Structure 1
Amino acid sequence: MFTGIVEEVGTISQMKQKSETTEMTIHCQKILSDMNIGDSISVNGVCLTVTSFSNTSFTVDIVRGTRSITLFSTMKVGTKVNLERALLPTTRLGGHFVSGHIDTSVVVKRIQQNSNTYIIELDCPQQYRQNVIPKGSIAVNGISLTIFELSDTIKLNIIPETVRSTMLNTLKTGDKVHIEFDMLGKYILNQMKSSDTLTLSKLEMMM
């Protein structure tokens, strides 16, 4: 489980194709301080497991199923990625609960830089429209963001500090990003599709 608050931007230093997996090595600094083999790391919003690490980098294996539904197949050496270690019980929850299991990838439709905000508009396919609400939470490449406005796109107003401290500053119109919709909202949608009545007590159990 993650919060969507990016701790560091790393750089892919190696991609090695194996028979059933892709071995990816990421150069970084901060998150190596207490790393152990088996740790879960959010890499651009995707939960991956550390298989080895050194003083300057860590390595993960991307299985074929994960590769097929993510953008890792398009990434190469030198690509910047958002990194976050798994949530600790004592961690302040500055973002929202993020599982690290992405729902889809969408296209960046527009980017506009203003004096105080950075506006990004994302494509919003009709089949996912029920998963988003104005002022709701969404994870974009592992970053916890608030939806500012909804139309045929998802509009995000982002402060300069978030852009500076993540890989959002590398995005261009036409790029694709990983999306994970709010976990609580997905539970509610699933409950509404069942025959059971949605009650306050059931909502409390989800939280």
Structure 2
Amino acid sequence: MFTGIIEERGRVLALDAEGDSARITVEAPLAVSDARRGDSISVDGVCLTVVAQTPEGFTADVMRQTLMMSSLGRLAVGGHVNLERAARVGDRLGGHIVQGHVDGTGRLLATTPGEAWRILRFSLPADLSPLVVDRGSITVQGVSLTVSAVSPTDTADADAWFEVSLIPETLTATTLGALEVGDEVNLETDVLARHVQRMLALDARGRDDRGRDDLARDDRAGVRS
């Protein structure tokens, strides 16, 4: 588990394709200062497992599904990534509960600069739109953020969007300050919202099943009478 508070910006040292997967090596002295083989590190919001390390960085394997569902498949050597070590019991939860399981990707649609802050607007996949609410939490490139605006409910699915407002610290301490319009980002919605959506879907299906059972009983009763 992570909290979405970025500890370090790492630099991609190597990307090696291995069949339908890849191996990534990241320069990250802080992240590996107390890391061991098998530990989890969030890389741009994706939970990866350390398979090798040096005092300067670590190496992790990235599976095909992860490459397809996230922006990691578009990384380039020399590029920078947001890093966070896994949370430990007793740590402050400075952001929100982040699993490192990316739900999908969006793209930066627009930026609105302020004197010291910046508003970023991102596209939102249609299946994630119901899970993103104004003043709710969302993870973008591993960064825990508060949603400052969402597209109106009558917006076409293909045009759904959300906005976040970034303070100077977030702009400089993460890779979000270097994003350009059109750039792809990893998105993870609030895990609590996903669980609620699942429970409501199962409850609705259960009511439908009970309704069909009641109709079937009524039909059988009508036949017998």
Residue 116 (structure 1) aligned with residue 116 (structure 2): yes
Q: Give the whole-Å Cα distance in 1 for the aligned partners of 2:99 and 2:182.
A: 26
Is the contact between residue 105 and residue 125 of structure 2 (CA under 8 Å) also seen in structure 1? no
- Structure 1 runs of 4+ aligned residues shifted over 6 Å read none
> Residue in 2 aligned with 1:203?
none
Residues 1:162 and 2:182 are matched in the alignment: no
SS at match of 2:135: coil
Question: What CA distance in whole angstroms lies between the structure 1 residues aligned with 2:77 and 2:124?
Answer: 29
If the length of structure 2 is used for normalisation, what is the TM-score?
0.84
CA distance in 2, matches of 1:31, 1:75: 19
For 1:204, the equivalent position in structure 2 comes to none
CA–CA distance in 2 between the matches of 1:134 and 1:27? 36
* Letter in structure 1 aligned against 2:64: R
Shift of 1:170: 1.5
Aligned partner of 1:6: which letter?
A: I
Matching residue of 1:15:
15
Q: Report Cα offsets for 1:153-201 as digits up to 9, x if no partner.
A: 20111111011100112200000100000000110111111128xxxxx
Residue of structure 1 in register with 2:161 after alignment: 153
Taking the TM superposition and a 5 Å limit, the aligned residue runs for 1:72-91 are: 72-91=72-91
Deviation at 1:40, TM superposition (A): 0.4
Q: Distance in 2 between matches of 1:22 and 1:127?
A: 28
Query: Structure 1 residue 178 and structure 2 residue 183: aligned?
Result: no
Conservation of the 8 A alpha-carbon contact between 2:29 and 2:57: yes
> Could you state the TM-score of these two structures normalised by the residue count of structure 1?
0.92
Say which structure is richer in helix.
2
Distance, in Å, in 2 between the alignment partners of 1:123 and 1:66 is: 20
Higher radius of gyration, 1 or 2: 2
1:65-123 alpha-carbon deviations (Å, 9 max, x no partner): 21121112211101110000001001100000000000000110001221132110001
1:67 aligns with 2:75: no
Q: Given residue 111 of structure 2, which amino acid in structure 1 is its aligned partner?
A: I
Pick the aligned partner of 1:193 from 198, 201, 211: 201
Letter in 2 for 1:156: V
Percent same amino acid at aligned positions?
36
Tell me, what secondary structure is at the counterpart of 2:197? Answer: helix
State the AA in 2 paired with 1:9: R
For residue 177 of structure 1, give the secondary structure of its aligned residue in structure 2: strand
Contact 2:45 2:143 in 1 (8 A): yes
